[in-house]
Amino acid sequence: MAMEKKKQRHCYGPAPNTTRRFAKLWGVLLISIFPILNTGLAFDYGDALKKSLLYFESQRSGRLPYNQRVAWRHHSGLTDGLEQGVDLVGGYYDAGDHVKFGLPMAFTVTMLSWTVIEFQHQIAIAGELEHALEAIKWGTDYFIKAHTSPNVLWAEVGDGDTDHYCWQRPEDMTTSRQAYKIDEDHPGSDLAGETAAAMAAASIVFKKTNPHYSHLLLHHAQQLFEFGDKYRGKYDENIGVVKNYYASVSGYKDELLWGALWLYKATDNEIYLEYVINKAHFFWRDWLGHDRIQLGCEVCWPSNYGFKVARGRKAQGTW
């Protein structure tokens, strides 16, 4: 009876939908901020950047650090993965929820890393570079944990259905912390490719300041890409609970291209570029989002890289 009353105090019906896709769109916001900084407009885009990064601190899961700026948050999700015998503590909760969805989390870290790569100087001038690096590392530290072996990646922690009907603090959550994974028998090339992209992009970010960590990220990225390419399949066909939240609408081919492009940028290994050239004519998509990243491929390599890909498509008779 006491437990029922406790739950009643925390559960107030479905969670609002207004923030549910914030993590999907934030990278576009951050990337759009910096070209405007020099226009002389009166808007304080530095403050917008600060608040965007503060949002990620408020979404942290796990044991929070001493320098946590969002003081009303505390440790949470400290037993994530315990039932499965793995350490899945950390990472980010999704939007205003308490589920940790691997696909949008990986996309978010990729976009944040890309932002730092392109606009590191401007972020430093705004006084937010350290916070941006911390935000990236909070995600990649979790991906390292979730990638427990070369062909195993934990894709989700928590249950969206019960979580969305219980609006409560993560420190007090009473909902399921069931964890789900992809492996050789239950592939998820989209999730593996996106996570490979995130770790490869982050390896570029940390290459000068933390070379050992950068090398570790690149090692995981290469393993994940090989896993996703060798054992192909959509992750939502093997983890059905994600279909109502982050379904793989576009399939997995665009994420494999995305991962290969970031690995090429991180390694200069022509193997990855050739992969893109050879696959682009039938792997291409036309959106930028957690599930559709073809536009990102085009924007990220607008010069000689894009020309090589275009030349490969034309040579194969797709134009």
Q: How many whole angstroms separate alpha carbon 122 and alpha carbon 100?
A: 30
Name the pLDDT band for 96 (thresholds 50, 70, 90): confident
Average pLDDT of every residue of the chain: 82
Instruction: Flag whether pLDDT at 290 surpasses 70.
Output: no
Please compute the mean of the pLDDT values over residues 261-288 and round it to a whole number: 82
At 190 the pLDDT is 95
At 39 the pLDDT is 53
**Residue with the larger pLDDT of the pair 296 and 231:** 231
Q: Which two tokens stand for residue 207?
A: 């290459």
Amino acid 66 reads Y
Name the pLDDT band for 17 (thresholds 50, 70, 90): very low
**Residue with the larger pLDDT of the pair 280 and 107:** 107
Q: Which two tokens stand for residue 15?
A: 């969670």
Instruction: Flag whether pLDDT at 68 surpasses 90.
Output: yes
| Domains in the chain, CATH or no CATH each | 2-70+82-271 (1.50.10.10)
Please compute the mean of the pLDDT values over residues 190-198 and round it to a whole number: 97
At 284 the pLDDT is 57
pTM, two decimal places? 0.81
Please compute the mean of the pLDDT values over residues 146-175 and round it to a whole number: 92
